[in-house]
Amino acid sequence: MELADDEIYARIGHDGFTRLVAAFYKRIPDDDVLGPMYPEQDFAGAEKRLRDFLIFRFGGPPTYVQERGHPRMRERHAPFVIDQVARDRWVALMDRALEEARLPEDAAGKLRQFFDAVATFLINHRS
């Protein structure tokens, strides 16, 4: 039986999302495509926002919505040029983070599907 999106938090917990997001963000500062999109002084904030969003989106506590309101993903990402190259790099780094986090395969598979779809949805620039 396939894991439902809202069951992922129950499966991997806060710790699983913390490991995943930390593994992703440790790759960002040195990345030539994505690194420049993140203000150096806000890596910790960006990490917290992504972690809280994923926890909320996949069945955990609604901290993200309580602190920031509706995700409005396209609006929040509009200031950044997200083309196919940036999208593909984001997915590749998140894929490596998923491997490093060693989440159960059913949860990791659902997260991969989500990341692939959302990264494509956020493309806002054709190169």
* Residue indicated by tokens 């997260």: 111
CA 10-16-22 angle, to 5 degrees, is 150
Helices of type H across the chain: 8-25, 43-57, 63-68, 73-77, 84-101, 105-121
The CATH number that domain 5-121 falls under is 1.10.490.10
Say what percent of the chain tops pLDDT 70: 100
Over residues 49-98, the pLDDT tens digits come to: 999 999 999 999 999 999 999 999 999 999 999 999 999 999 999 999 99
49 close to 82: Cβ distance less than 8 angstroms: no
Q: Which amino acid is at 98?
A: L
Q: Decide if 55 contacts 64 (C-beta within 8 A).
A: yes
